[in-house]
């Protein structure tokens, strides 16, 4: 019998690194430090008025009770309409389930499908939670380093070399957190051709940043390029990033009915249905005025275009322009090996991030958290004044290195 009060499946995972970085910044603030936090990955805008009004209307109408486990029919119809309108994908309401955020969707999909030892291919850099969610569900993460020279994207040859008889899932996040890299239709086609040879591999597409793109072109979806993969793909998304609704906690899964129903059963015995008020708000977001999306992306683009040259002007730092999302994944390799004013050597990106926090009061997340070093992630989901101040502080701290 396990002598610990904590289950082994919990002890083998670690807390979210981005949450830990935000907590550290908040603790320093409580101590009186002026900290510029460029950590958190959530929009700095308020949820649009018409969405908030839809939530208020739902409360006034008494929509405050349990809903169907999979979500209200109105919400699932709105999701289905969005998928057809924007992605060219056709799903029935029975092939869609609403979840408590996209994170819950991913975890629940792993929990419903992974057996001990099953492998999950995770291209690196990756969102920090993928590996630990797989581990918590008895899976084995298989990391595939996708270097900057290949624009941080998985190649067909890498995918072919990573698949084994135990491979259960391939996870694709486009545009990506943390790099903003986005797959093209041709790149999806090449990956799909490899997957065609391995029918036991299922695919999870994390599409949460699909609308935050800077080239003015709609993001291609894997299933639009390769519809033959539909029966083994879960398309996961949510309203948090697109509509500034992180706190509303609404995500969804669209996929084959057997997988969706299995996840539905699992959630019925764990989380239960999503908040009824949030579901009404999410349906209004998907069905309503979309002007906020275009306006917010334009602001993110302005921030990216203003801050990127400032970062690249700092000796020892470099950053490629992200295709989407709202992060800069900054290469800090030029700082490795340098020494701080108090004589400490910077041996890794974690050392660089701690130096910036302690000496300049700028909070960032080290690239080691995302599986590819030496980098750090800088969120541009904050106002331009804060961003400019943060980069200026970083530049001054770098000038003090020897």
pLDDT at 1 over 70: no
| Bridge partner residues of 330 (DSSP) | 376
DSSP per-residue codes, 281-330: HHHHHHHS--HHHHHHHHHHHHHHHHHHHHHHTSTT-B-PPPSBTTEEEE
In this prediction, residue 388 has a pLDDT band, given cuts at 50, 70 and 90, of very high
Q: Tell me the CATH class for 49-287.
A: alpha beta
pLDDT of amino acid 25:
79
How large is the average pLDDT for residues 155-184? 98
Residues 221-260 have pLDDT tens digits of 999 999 999 999 999 999 999 999 999 999 999 999 999 9
In this prediction, residue 14 has a pLDDT band, given cuts at 50, 70 and 90, of confident
pLDDT of amino acid 186:
97
The SS3 of residue 121 is strand
Residues 294-319 have pLDDT tens digits of 999 999 999 999 999 999 999 999 99
Residues 6 or more apart whose CB falls under 8 angstroms from that of 42 comprise 240, 241, 244, 246, 381
pLDDT at 156 over 70: yes
In whole angstroms, give the CA distance from residue 342 to residue 263: 53
User: Whole-number mean pLDDT of the chain?
Assistant: 96
The percent of residues above 90 in pLDDT, for the chain, comes to 90
Q: Tell me the CATH class for 8-46+292-399.
A: alpha beta
How large is the average pLDDT for residues 2-27? 81
Least confident of 21-25, 31-35, 51-55, 72-76: 21-25
Domain parsing of the chain, residue ranges: 8-46+292-399, 49-287
Residues 6 or more apart whose CB falls under 8 angstroms from that of 184 comprise 220
In whole angstroms, give the CA distance from residue 384 to residue 349: 25
- CB–CB of 121/167 below 8 Å? yes
């Amino acid at each position: 019998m396990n002598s610990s009060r904590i289950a082994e499946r919990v002890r083998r995972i670690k807390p979210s690194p981005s949450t830990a970085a935000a907590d550290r910044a908040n603790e320093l603030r409580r101590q009186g430090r002026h900290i510029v936090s460029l950590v958190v990955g959530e929009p700095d805008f308020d949820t649009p008025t018409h969405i908030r009004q839809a939530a208020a209307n739902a409360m006034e109408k008494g929509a405050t009770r349990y809903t169907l486990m999979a979500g209200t029919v109105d919400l699932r119809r709105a999701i289905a309409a969005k998928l057809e309108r924007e992605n060219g994908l056709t799903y029935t309401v029975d092939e869609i389930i609403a979840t408590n955020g996209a994170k819950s969707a991913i975890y629940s999909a792993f929990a419903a499908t992974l057996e001990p030892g099953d492998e999950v291919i995770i291209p690196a850099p990756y969102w920090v939670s993928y590996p630990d969610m797989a581990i918590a569900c008895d899976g084995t993460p298989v990391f595939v380093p996708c270097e900057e020279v290949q624009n941080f994207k998985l190649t067909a040859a890498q995918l072919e070399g990573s698949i084994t008889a135990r491979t259960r899932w391939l996870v694709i996040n486009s545009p990506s957190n943390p790099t903003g890299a986005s797959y093209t239709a041709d790149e999806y086609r090449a990956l799909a051709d490899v997957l065609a040879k391995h029918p036991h591999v299922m695919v999870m597409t994390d599409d949460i940043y699909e609308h935050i793109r800077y080239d003015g072109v709609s993001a291609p979806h894997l299933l639009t390029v390769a519809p033959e993969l539909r029966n083994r793909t879960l398309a996961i998304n949510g309203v948090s990033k697109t509509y500034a609704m992180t706190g509303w906690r609404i995500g969804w899964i669209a996929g084959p009915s057997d997988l969706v129903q299995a996840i539905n059963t699992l959630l019925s015995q764990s989380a239960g249905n999503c908040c009824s008020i949030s579901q009404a708000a999410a349906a209004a977001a998907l069905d309503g005025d979309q002007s906020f999306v275009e306006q917010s992306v334009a602001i993110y683009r302005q921030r990216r275009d203003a801050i990127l040259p400032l970062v690249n002007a700092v000796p020892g730092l470099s950053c490629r322009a992200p295709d989407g999302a709202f992060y800069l994944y900054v290469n800090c390799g030029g700082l490795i090996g340098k020494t701080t004013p108090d004589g400490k050597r910077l041996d890794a990106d974690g050392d660089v991030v701690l130096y910036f926090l302690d000496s300049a009061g700028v909070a960032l997340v080290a690239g080691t958290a995302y599986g590819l070093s030496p980098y750090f992630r800088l969120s541009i989901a904050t106002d331009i004044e804060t961003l400019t101040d943060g980069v200026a502080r970083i530049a001054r701290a770098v000038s003090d290195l020897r």
